[in-house]
Amino acid sequence: MKVTVFGIGYVGLVQAAVLADAGHSVCCVDIDSNKIENLKKGIIPIYEPGLTPLVESNYQAGRLLFTTDAAEGVNFGELQFIAVGTPPDEDGSADLKYVLKVAETIATHMQAPKVVIDKSTVPVGTADKVSAKMAQVLAERNVTIDFSVVSNPEFLKEGAAVNDCKRPDRIVIGTDSKEAEELMRELYAPFNRNHDKIVIMDIKSAELTKYAANCMLATKISFMNEMSNLAEKLGADIEMVRQGIGSDERIGYHFIYPGCGYGGSCFPKDVQALIRTAESIGYNSEILKAVESINYKQKEKLFEYICKHYQVWDQAQTGNIEGLLAGKTIALWGLSFKPNTDDMRDASSRRLMETLWQAGAKVQAYDPEAMEETQRIYGSRSDLSLMGTKESALNGADALVICTEWQSFRAPDFDLIKNALSESVIFDGRNMFEPERMNKKGFAYYCIGRALSV
Ligand code: NAD
């Protein structure tokens, strides 16, 4: 089939490459000419395991095309994916300007019927807005061309995106058109062989399904973080509690890890957006508001431990943290919001670094993939040194902080850490190590919700 994808980011590029690999012809359109030129040269703009060879081989085979020419893209595919960003607006609701711009572009250039597929995460009612925008533009052009709008939310996980797209758990398709449903079934047939993963529903339910999924996952994390705070104060060990509840198959072991807060491009903005959607219909979503505020506080947890360790927590609580940690250098391992990605949108490391800087500390940071992204976000500043290895980030630092649970951080050389730091202290936002073992090794070890450690 001939497919066009608008928006070649984490979702659009992976989806396009996986569809092309299955044999479809895919035209990728982005307004970022730099990104498109780089892709043509084989330079992939994001880090995602397995993505580079997939893009390269399908580009070489002629099944993947890259362009900034919207008209070319519109006239290429019978199926038109919208996979542009839906960032939070000022009030937290999803900003639909990029989505509606693509709708306008498609309607401006289309010469034949199209199925327009909302792949971006969009609030309930957006398909209607996309339809209305397209109808308006077609009316202005004084032409009648059929189109239908389908909601097909994406459930990939960054860090495992290629695998998730190749082997989806489910393929949600919201449509009220039998013809569109048939085309979507044909498109996804290569990914639907083992058992039927396609769930057909009405458009609004499909739109809400995506938010419900992300908000459920965010709720699991905030719930565990709430439990971890209780465990810490009650003298219990959240890791024991985690195993105790995970063994109940109604709860399960997945996604119940306590930590220094969730980040990324989806959970924070999607929880906020659903709160705003609820408010727009006069409904106060108490659970979602709690999920958001618990996460906001959890992202301050490591700073709290650092201040407690340096005995400046009482001052910090007054709200004025200027200069509280002046003279301290913090080694920071892990900048991306989770392992196996270079994405730093809303990453816990960012709030921590910004707070440390405000408190006068310096940061020596290392991440296996997110160094360029950190440089792009923060530029050069005297209180941030980006280090080439996790070991060099330790040199001359006073303490080590871990924000992301990269595999390569799991079995470090503890003697080397001890020798490199001015004091043997680790603040671990991801519970990577056993507190007792760390204490035996002579470390002051702070982690999340384990009373043994603090
Ligand atoms: P992204 O920011 O990585 O990519 C968006 C791309 O769209 C950018 O390259 C941008 O230049 C391009 N763009 C903007 N306007 C355009 C236009 N008019 N025409 C063509 N291209 C245009 O975003 P992302 O992370 O891929 O997310 C895209 C959507 O998918 C969002 O709604 C997001 O919530 C959703 N989503 C993301 C993930 C994820 O893990 N990143 C997972 C599931 C769903």
In the predicted model, is pLDDT for residue 191 greater than 90? yes
Q: Which atom of ligand 1 is nearest the CA belonging to 155?
A: 43
- 101-135 pLDDT, tens digit per residue, is 999 999 999 999 999 999 999 999 999 999 999 99
Buried b (16+ CB within 10 A) or exposed e, 146-169: ebbbbbbbbbbebbebbebbbebe
Long-range contacts at 376-382 (CB < 8 A, ≥ 24 apart)? 377/344, 377/350, 378/353, 381/357
Average pLDDT, the chain: 97
Question: Encoding tokens for residue 433?
Answer: 């190590």
- 237-279 pLDDT, tens digit per residue, is 999 999 999 999 999 999 999 999 999 999 999 999 999 999 9
Protein residues whose CB sits closer than 6 Å to any atom of ligand 1: 6-12, 29-32, 35, 83-86, 98, 101-102, 120-121, 154, 156, 158, 265-266
For a substitution probing ligand 1, which of 154, 214, 341, 346 has the most ligand atoms within 8 Å of its CB? 154
pLDDT of residue 244: 97
- Picking from 162, 124, 151, the residue whose alpha carbon sits closest to that of residue 46 is 162
Q: Which atom of ligand 1 is nearest the CA belonging to 157?
A: 40
For a substitution probing ligand 1, which of 97, 265, 373 has the most ligand atoms within 8 Å of its CB? 265
CA distance 322 to 450: 29
* Domains of the chain with CATH codes: 2-201 (3.40.50.720), 211-294 (1.10.1040.10), 299-453 (3.40.50.720)
Three-class secondary structure of residue 237 per DSSP? strand
* Radius of gyration for the alpha carbons in the chain, expressed in angstroms and rounded: 24
User: Is this complex's ipTM strictly greater than 0.95?
Assistant: yes
Would residue 266 show up in a list of annotated catalytic residues for this protein?
yes
Q: Residues 37, 58: contact at Cβ < 8 Å? A: no
Q: Residues 449, 227: contact at Cβ < 8 Å? A: yes
Residue nearest to atom 15 of ligand 1 (CA): 98
User: What is the rounded average pLDDT of the residues 92-103?
Assistant: 97
User: Residues of the chain with pLDDT > 70: what percent?
Assistant: 99
Residues paired with 79 in a beta bridge = 3, 115
In the predicted model, is pLDDT for residue 452 greater than 90? no
Give me the catalytic one of 165, 260, 266, 307. Answer: 266
pLDDT of residue 451: 72
CA of 13 to the centre of ligand 1 (A): 9
CA distance 299 to 304: 10
CA of 116 to the centre of ligand 1 (A): 16
